[in-house]
C-alpha cells in the first residue's frame, strides 16, 4: 500500500475480522507447531477443544465439529440435514439470503424469505409462509435459519428463542442458529441466553471464532441426535474436513479454556457502545436499535464522504438525497484511542458544517 494511502486511512470499521488473531492463540499455535498429530480433527488438541466446549455448554449429549468458515458451516449443515425437496426459511437480511453467493441454492434448496425490520424471525412472521406451502407441488419448508447476533446487530432474548423453538417442534421444523457473532451476542448487555440454553432450544448451531479473535474457524454443535449420523461424510464431500484440523482445535481450546471468547466479545461490544452513545449525544439518529458490536448511524452524505477519507465502513442504506445510514463494526482488537479519534474527527466535521 502506498505511503500516502497509509497515512490517510486511520482504521477500518467495515468488519470484525480485519485483524489476525489474539496473541494467546498465536502463541498456542507456535508452542504446538512441531507436535505430530493425527489429521482431520482427530488430533489431541481438537479432542481437548471438544471436551472444553461440552463443559462450557454443560451438555454431554452434543457432537462438535470444526470447520474453517461461516459460509462453509452453513453449507455443510444445511446440505447434510435437508432432503432435495426441502427448503429453508430465513429473514431477508439473513446471511444465507444475501451474502453467500447462492451457496445454499446451489445445493438445490430454496430459501424462503421473510421480511424482518429487526433481523429476527418470530413464529408470527413465519406462520403465514408455512400455510402457503401445503402440498407436494411446492417445496416443503423444513428448516428455520436465524443468526445471533443478527445481521442488524440485534440479539435474541431467551423468551423469543423459547417461543421459536416450541413453534418449530410443533411444526416439525429444524431450528438452526448461525453464530458467526455469537461472542458479541452472549456478552451483550441485553442478553439473557447461555450456551446451555441455546443447546437446549435449537437443533444445531455454530460458535464463530473467525469474528471473535481466531485466525479462522467455527465450531458446529449438533444438538438433535437425528442430525449426527454420518455428518463427517458430508463435511468431507464439501471440503470441510481439514487435514490439519489441529489448527482449529488449538484455537477453540484457547478461546474457551479461560473464557477468552467471552472477554473478546465483551470488548467489541464496549467499543461500539462508546461509539454509539457519543454519536447519539452529537444529535444523530440510527437506522435501528442494536445490541451488539454493530451500529447503523445516519449521517449527512457530506459527513460520510469526509469520514471515508480516513476510515473504512460500509454505506448501508441511502435514506434520501442528503442522509445515509452507515454500518460501523468494532472487533475484539479495536483500540479505544481509535474510537476516540473517530469521534473527535466526527465532532470537527459538525463544527465546520
Residue pLDDT, tens place only, 283-329: 999 999 889 999 999 999 999 999 999 999 999 999 999 999 999 99
- Alpha-carbon Rg for the chain, nearest whole angstrom, is 21
Within 10 Å of residue 114's Cβ, how many Cβ atoms? 19
What is the full per-residue pLDDT of the chain (353 aa) written as tens digits?
Answer: 444 444 566 899 999 999 999 999 999 999 999 999 999 999 999 999 999 999 999 999 999 999 999 999 999 999 999 999 999 999 999 899 888 888 899 888 999 999 998 999 989 889 988 988 888 888 999 999 999 999 999 999 999 999 999 999 999 999 999 999 999 999 999 999 999 999 999 999 999 999 999 999 999 999 999 999 999 999 999 999 999 999 999 999 999 999 999 999 999 999 999 999 999 999 999 999 889 999 999 999 999 999 999 999 999 999 999 999 999 999 999 999 999 999 999 999 987 65
Q: Where exactly does CATH 3.40.640.10 map onto the chain?
A: 23-257
The cell for 325 is: 445510514
Torsion of CA 22, 27, 29, 35, to 10 degrees: -170
Q: Where exactly does CATH 3.90.1150.10 map onto the chain?
A: 3-16+261-351
Check: CB of residue 13 under 8 Å from CB of residue 313.
yes
pTM of the model: 0.95
Looking at CATH, the fold of the domain delimited by 3-16+261-351 is given as 3.90.1150
CATH of 23-257, one of 3.40.50.280, 3.40.630.30, 3.40.640.10, 1.10.12.10: 3.40.640.10
The cell for 329 is: 463494526
First to last CA, the chain: 32
Amino acid at each position: 500500500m502506498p505511503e500516502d494511502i497509509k497515512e490517510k486511512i486511520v482504521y477500518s470499521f467495515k468488519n470484525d475480522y480485519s485483524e489476525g488473531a489474539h496473541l494467546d492463540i498465536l502463541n498456542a499455535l507456535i508452542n504446538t507447531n512441531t507436535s505430530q498429530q493425527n489429521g482431520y480433527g482427530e488430533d489431541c488438541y481438537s479432542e481437548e477443544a471438544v471436551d472444553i466446549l461440552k463443559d462450557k455448554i454443560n451438555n454431554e449429549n452434543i457432537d462438535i465439529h470444526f470447520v474453517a468458515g461461516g459460509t462453509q458451516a452453513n453449507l455443510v449443515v444445511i446440505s447434510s440435514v435437508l432432503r432435495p425437496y426441502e427448503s429453508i426459511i430465513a429473514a431477508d437480511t439473513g446471511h444465507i439470503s444475501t451474502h453467500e453467493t447462492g451457496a445454499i441454492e446451489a445445493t438445490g434448496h430454496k430459501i424462503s424469505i421473510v421480511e424482518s425490520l429487526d433481523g429476527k424471525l418470530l413464529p408470527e412472521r413465519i406462520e403465514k409462509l408455512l400455510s402457503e406451502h401445503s402440498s407436494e407441488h411446492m417445496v416443503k419448508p423444513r428448516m428455520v435459519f436465524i443468526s445471533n447476533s443478527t445481521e442488524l446487530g440485534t440479539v435474541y432474548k431467551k423468551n423469543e428463542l423459547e417461543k421459536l423453538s416450541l413453534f418449530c417442534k410443533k411444526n416439525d421444523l429444524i431450528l438452526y442458529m448461525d453464530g458467526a457473532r455469537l461472542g458479541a451476542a452472549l456478552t451483550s448487555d441485553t442478553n439473557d441466553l447461555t450456551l446451555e440454553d441455546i443447546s437446549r432450544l435449537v437443533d444445531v448451531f455454530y460458535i464463530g471464532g473467525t469474528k471473535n479473535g481466531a485466525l479462522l474457524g467455527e465450531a458446529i454443535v449438533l444438538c438433535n441426535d437425528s442430525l449426527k449420523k454420518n455428518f463427517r461424510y458430508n463435511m468431507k464431500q464439501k471440503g470441510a474436513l481439514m487435514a490439519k484440523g489441529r489448527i482449529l482445535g488449538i484455537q477453540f481450546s484457547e478461546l474457551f479454556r479461560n473464557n477468552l471468547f467471552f472477554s473478546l466479545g465483551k470488548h467489541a461490544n464496549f467499543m461500539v457502545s462508546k461509539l454509539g452513545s457519543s454519536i447519539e449525544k452529537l444529535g444523530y439518529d440510527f437506522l435501528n436499535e442494536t445490541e451488539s458490536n454493530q451500529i447503523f448511524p445516519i449521517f449527512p452524505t457530506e459527513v460520510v464522504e469526509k469520514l471515508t477519507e480516513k476510515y473504512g465502513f460500509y454505506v448501508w442504506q441511502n435514506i434520501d438525497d442528503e442522509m445515509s445510514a452507515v454500518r460501523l463494526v468494532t472487533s475484539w482488537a479495536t483500540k479505544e484511542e481509535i474510537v476516540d479519534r473517530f469521534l473527535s474527527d466526527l465532532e470537527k466535521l459538525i463544527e465546520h458544517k
